[in-house]
Amino acid sequence: MIPSQNCSQSPTGSSILISIKPRYADLILAGSKRVELRRAAPTQAIKAMAIYSSSPIQAIVALVEIVEVIEASVSRLWEIARDNGGGLTRSELRNYYSGKKTGFAFMLGKVRQFNSRIEPRIIFSKFTPPQSFRYLTPDELKKLEKLLVKRRKS
């Protein structure tokens, strides 16, 4: 994937918006899923991701710190998922990575959950859920962080 020109960059990395099925998003919010598995990873170093919980939720539900992105074989990814609450069976993982020799594990750090779901159109004027992920601009990330702080104080 070619990075957006308007990406959020800092010395420690960029931020992304990532689409996740509600079942997996809920596991991350509960703290039992500490790894997000992907077939592809951003070309830029990432420090954080905003979670867009896909249909039927269709809302941004959290900001999550990315501690590390690991590229590994499917066998190694299974070990990582098993040890870090990947939320899927070995068979599901193999099906997901079918045709791939390697994949990516986003190791998750601090999860900052919004008090209520964020309607994406509050942040993005023309919102289309990303197929996998999209880079956040610095302004988009600031808007999300402001909503996180604002809603925490409420």
pLDDT of 126 above 60: yes
For 18-58, what is each residue's pLDDT tens digit?
999 999 999 999 999 999 999 999 999 999 999 999 999 99
Average pLDDT for 81-89: 96
Q: Are 122 and 60 within 8 A, CB to CB?
A: no
Q: What is the pLDDT of residue 125?
A: 86
Cα 57 to Cα 43: distance, rounded to the nearest angstrom: 28
Q: What mean pLDDT value characterizes the chain?
A: 89
Tell me which residue of 96, 88, 68 sits closest to 24, measured CA to CA. 88
- Determine whether 94 is exposed, middle or buried from the number of CB atoms within 10 Å of its CB (0-12, 13-18, 19+): middle
pLDDT of 122 above 80: yes
Q: For residue 5, what pLDDT band results from cuts at 50, 70 and 90?
A: very low
